[in-house]
């Protein structure tokens, strides 16, 4: 059993926390706006989610230690041991939670990218709708629908798991995701500079803007 560290370093660096809570807000707004046919809001929250998720994936390679994928993606043996209550205590995401983080990111990305090719056939079409063939658009429409239901299920599990650890096991997960660290939840190394995250975010946003601005427009029917 590992003894708690007292390093003063955050477990979750500032970019990871900003990513998390912005994602929560944007996902709620994306859902609400789709239900209420507010497509200008839907479009912008969708773009924001794409930029946040792609940046978070890059942060999984270049970010602070506990935000990196190699820190929390463990092999099947480690996951099974964790489920059986064996194995050492870990500081960041637990071995099961680590894979659920990856699944959440993958689903969010699928949701965002499929939206770019989607249309409600009346009010709004995604910016890449006219860049694709009809059958591909149809598939993306189905993906946009199915991925969202899967996302809702996984988010519900995520919140239940967090509440279980927080209130049944007495671990201060929520405090750590809000403040960076909490008792028994501290980082083991100094965080990577947040400026790098800002640079990544800017590059990802520019790439998305560049792709969208070059997309073919509908041919006008006179």
Applying CB under 6 A, the residues found at the interface with ligand HEM are: 16, 19-20, 23-24, 27, 30-31, 34, 42-43, 46-47, 49, 56, 67, 93, 97, 101, 104-105, 108, 111-112, 115-116, 118-120, 124, 126-127, 141, 144-145, 148, 155, 158-159, 162, 173-174, 176-177
1 or 197: CB nearest ligand HEM: 197
CB of 75 to ligand HEM, least distance (A): 18
127 or 180: CB nearest ligand HEM: 127
**Beta carbon of residue 124, minimum distance to ligand HEM (angstroms, whole number):** 5
Q: In whole angstroms, how close is the CB of 167 to ligand HEM at the nearest point?
A: 10
* Cβ 182 to ligand HEM shortest distance, Å: 10
Q: Quick one: 143 or 199, whose CB is closer to ligand HEM?
A: 143
Find the shortest distance in angstroms from Cβ 90 to ligand HEM: 9
* DSSP one-letter string for the chain: -PPPP---B-SS-HHHHHHHHHHHHHHHHHHHHHHTT-HHHHHHHHHHHHHHHHHHHHHHHHS-GGGSHHHH---HHHHHHHHTT-S---SSS-HHHHHHHHHHHHHHHHHHHHHHT-B-SSS-B-TTGGGS-HHHHHHHHHHHHHHHHHHHHHHHHHHHHHHIIIIIS---HHHHHHHS-BTTB-BSSPPPPHHHHHHHHHHHHHHHHHHHHTSPPPPP--
Q: Which is nearer to ligand HEM, 31 or 199 (CB)?
A: 31
Q: Closer to ligand HEM at the Cβ: 103 or 203?
A: 103
């Amino acid at each position: 059993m590992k003894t708690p560290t007292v390093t003063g370093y955050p477990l979750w660096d500032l970019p990871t926390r900003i990513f998390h809570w912005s994602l929560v807000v944007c996902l709620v707004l994306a859902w609400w706006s789709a239900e209420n046919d507010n497509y200008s809001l839907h479009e912008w929250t969708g773009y924001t989610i794409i930029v946040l998720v792609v940046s978070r994936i890059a942060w999984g390679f270049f970010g602070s230690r506990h935000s990196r994928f190699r820190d929390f993606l463990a092999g099947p043996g480690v996951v099974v041991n964790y489920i059986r209550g064996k194995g050492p205590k870990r500081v960041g995401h637990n071995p099961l939670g680590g894979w659920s983080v990856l699944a959440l990111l993958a689903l969010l990305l699928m949701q965002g990218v499929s939206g770019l090719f989607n249309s409600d056939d009346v009010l709004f079409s995604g910016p890449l709708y006219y860049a694709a063939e009809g059958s591909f658009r149809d598939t993306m429409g189905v993906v946009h629908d199915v991925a969202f239901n899967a996302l809702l299920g996984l988010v519900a599990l995520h919140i239940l798991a967090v509440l279980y650890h927080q209130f049944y096991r007495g671990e201060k997960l929520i405090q750590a995701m809000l403040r960076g660290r909490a008792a028994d939840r501290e980082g083991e190394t100094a965080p990577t500079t947040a400026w790098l995250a800002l640079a990544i975010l800017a590059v990802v946003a520019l790439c998305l803007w560049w792709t969208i601005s070059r997309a073919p427009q509908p041919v006008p029917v006179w």
